[in-house]
Amino acid sequence: MTVYLVNQECDFRPMDDAMLIFHGGSGETYQLAGVPACLVAELLRTPEASTLESLVIRLSDPESQPPVVLVEEALEQLRKAGVVSVRHP
Amino acid sequence: MTLIDLGESTVQERLRGEGLILKTGPFAARIRTRIPVVAAALMQVYQDFPVLDASAFADFECHLRRPLTFRRWHRPQVLFLADGRSVFKPLPLHQAFPVLEWGMNWCVANQVHDRLVFHAAAVERNGKALILPAPPESGKSTLCAALVASGWRLITDESVLFDLRLDEVTGPVRPVSLKNASIDVINDFAGNVMLSDVCRDTLKGTVAHMRPPSSSVDRADEPATPAWVVFPEYRAGAATLLKPLAAGSAFMQIVKSAFNYPALGRRAFHRTADLIDQADAYTFVYSRLEEAIETFDALAAGR
């Protein structure tokens, strides 16, 4: 799976407290912390997630991390920033 | 052959003729000028630096000259040209030497893309580099000068070069640029340092340059392993405080100091992350240099 920000493929580097994202199109670098960072990390290691929505459903499992209630918020933050879309091979 | 071996009159002659090629770490700069004060200033703070043959390759072509305007008769000025192109607006002639220093900084910041270049100071002990990225007025150069006067090896005061393949930093060893109050602070802290003549009324206030120790110049090509990235902040009267900084925040802060991050793009992103993965990051607030030096000596000793 490739994660795109504003339709550009991105590079990712997880740090201990954050997810760093390099947006190849603009050359901008983002730092996500907290739940949005967990969400991107989850996206990167979840090849079977077919859409963001299905990912949220999967994460809605009560035992999942990050906590369910915040996943929607995190997603909303990413969407408001116009940054997340997911494409599959 | 070093500058002091050549002597001031030969230095003057080369500057006026085909150029003086000064080696500063990995770079060679050909300097040409007919402005007399430049030779004397070079002798003050670059005396131990190697000089290359006039036929050698130079990475930077630096030319200082007076602009040919009417102003030259009543308010003389100086222009810095890199590869024949003026890169700053003309400045008063008495600032010729600081203008040369700023011009050489400009060359590194704008013309070097085979390594990641950070606007930062770096010093070394036991093969490990302490990197001090910081905006102007943060006390970076004052701290760097004090560390060097206390036995740390100077890697650079201005431009940290991080290799794109190896986890090594180098720098163009050059004089440490001191401004305003920090000139007296360093004179008081370390009476044995050699400073250039003071230049007043520049855009940065009063400036002087500290001659690097000859031991640092001799080891200019020796790389060091990045061990600590410390963001210093001088705050009058503040207690000394070294505080760990989370890796993500350290990354975002140091990226602001990278001159060629946009030019190197994806490679710069990954190499900066490699650097932060490898080094421990801290913020550092200080007001007393003695305590600052003790803090970094303890860090280097693993205490």
* pTM for the predicted model, two decimal places: 0.91
- A9 at the B interface (CB within 8 A)? no
Helices marked H in chain B: 3-6, 8-16, 37-45, 71-74, 96-111, 140-149, 181-189, 214-218, 247-255, 261-264, 266-278, 289-300
| pLDDT of B156 | 98
What average pLDDT does range B218-229 have in this prediction?
97
What average pLDDT does this structure show over B139-160?
A: 96
Cβ distance A15 to B269 less than 8 Å, yes or no, reads no
- Cβ(A86)–Cβ(A3) below 8 Å: yes
Paired tokens of B88: 């700053």
Nearest CA in chain A to B277: A15
- Mutant choice from B245, B257, B264, B269 vs A, greatest count of A C-beta within 10 A: B269
Contacting residues of A for B229, CB less than 8 Å apart: none
pLDDT at position B78 over 50: yes
Paired sense of beta strands B20-24 and B27-33, if any: antiparallel
Does the pLDDT value for residue A81 go beyond 50? Answer: yes
Does residue B158 register a pLDDT over 70?
A: yes
Q: Please list, in sequence order, all residues whose beta carbon lies within 8 angstroms of the beta carbon of residue B154, skipping any fewer than 6 positions away.
A: B123, B144, B148, B173, B176, B212, B213, B216
Rounded to an integer, what distance in angstroms lies between the CA atom of residue B229 and that of residue B248?
13
- State yes or no: pLDDT of B69 exceeds 80: no
pLDDT (tens digit per residue) in B237-247: 999 999 999 99
* Residue A31 sits at the chain B interface (C-beta within 8 Å): yes
Comparing CA positions, the residue from B75, B71, B83, B77 lying closest to residue B32 is B83
Which of B299, B269, B261 lies closest to B125 in space, CA to CA?
A: B299
Size of interface A-B (CB pairs under 8 A): 49
How many CB atoms sit inside 10 A of residue B1's CB? 9
Partner residue facing B246 (CB), from A16, A19, A29:
A16
Q: Which chain B residues are within 8 Å of A25, Cβ to Cβ?
A: none
Residues of chain A contacting B261 with CB distance shorter than 8 Å: 27
| Beta pairing partners, B290 | none
- CB contact at 8 A, A13 and A56: no
The label of the residue with tokens 């795109």 reads: A4
To the nearest whole Å, the CA of B116 is away from the closest chain A CA by 15
Report, as an integer, the average pLDDT of B127-147: 93
Shortest Cα distance, chain B CAs vs residue A77, angstroms: 19
Side chain identity, residue A27: G
∠ CA B248-A15-B162, nearest 5°, is 70
Q: Which of A9, A15, A17 to mutate to test the interface with B (most CBs of B within 10 A)?
A: A15
Structure tokens that stand for B41 in this block: 């200033």
Out of B101-115, B182-196, B216-230, B276-290, which region has the weakest mean confidence (pLDDT)? B182-196
Percentages helix, strand, coil for chain A, rounded to the nearest 5? 35, 30, 35
Contact B247 A16 (CB under 8 A): yes
* Backbone dihedral region for residue B69 (phi beyond 0: left; psi -120 to 50: alpha; all else: beta): beta
Using DSSP bridges, classify how beta strands B51-52 and B77-82 pair: parallel, antiparallel or unpaired. Answer: unpaired
The residue in chain B having the minimum alpha-carbon distance to the alpha carbon of residue A32 is B248
Q: Which of A24-38, B96-110, B178-192 has the weakest average pLDDT?
A: A24-38
User: Is pLDDT at A86 greater than 60 in this prediction?
Assistant: no
Closest-CA residue to B153 (of B257, B302, B296, B6):
B296
> Cβ-count burial of B210 within 10 angstroms (0-12 exposed, 13-18 middle, 19+ buried)?
buried
Going by pLDDT thresholds of 50, 70 and 90, the confidence category of residue A18 is confident
User: Which residues in chain B are closer than 8 Å to A20, comparing Cβ atoms?
Assistant: 248, 251-252, 269, 273
Q: List the single residue in B with minimal CA-CA distance to A30.
A: B252
Helix (H, G, I), strand (E, B) or coil at B257: coil
How many of the other CB atoms lie within 10 Å of CB of B24? Answer: 23
Going from N- to C-terminal start, the domains of chain A cover 2-82
pLDDT of residue A89: 43
Cβ <8 Å between B262 and A27 = yes
Q: Which has the closest alpha carbon to B164: B119, B130, B128, B116?
A: B116
Q: Which residue did the predictor score with more confidence, A43 or A13?
A: A13
CB B235 within 8 A of CB B283: no
Where does A15-80 show beta strands of DSSP type E?
18-23, 28-33
Predicted pLDDT of residue A40 = 77
Cβ pair A29:B270 closer than 8 A: no
Q: Is the pLDDT confidence value at A12 over 70?
A: yes
Q: Which amino acid is at A80?
A: K
Give CA–CA dist B46/B23, Å, rounded. 10
Neighbours of B83 (CB within 10 A): 11
pLDDT tens digits for range A26-61? 888 888 887 777 777 777 776 665 566 666 666 666
